[in-house]
Amino acid sequence: MILRKGQVRTIVEIYPELKAFEVEFSDKHGQTYGLISLEIYQLMLLYPDNSNLSLVG
């Protein structure tokens, strides 16, 4: 599996003492295509871009 820097995925399990994280990779339909354990230094914290959102009320 090729992982590209900046890919947004889901942490599905946190191992004791934050030693590692189980990370799931899925396509736009929610089908899992990869599951891998990563250490914290291998993760990048990303923030959502909410600049184009507006409130409906």
Instruction: Give yes or no for a contact between 7 and 25, defined as CB atoms under 8 angstroms apart.
Output: yes
Domain ranges, residue 29: 10-42
Confidence band for 1, pLDDT divided at 50, 70 and 90: low
Pair of tokens at residue 46? 């990303």
Examine residue 51 and state whether it is found in any structural domain, yes or no. Answer: no
1 within domain boundaries: no
Q: Residue 10 carries which DSSP code?
A: E
Higher pLDDT, 1 or 49: 49
**Predicted TM-score of the model (pTM):** 0.65
Is residue 56 a part of any domain in this protein?
Answer: no
User: How many structural domains are present in the chain?
Assistant: 1
Tell me: the pLDDT tens digits for 2-55?
766 666 788 899 999 988 999 998 887 888 888 999 999 988 877 777 777 777
Q: What are phi and psi of 46, to 5 degrees?
A: -115, 145
| Amino acid symbol at 39 | E
Nearest C-alpha neighbor of 9 from the set 50, 18, 51, 27? 27
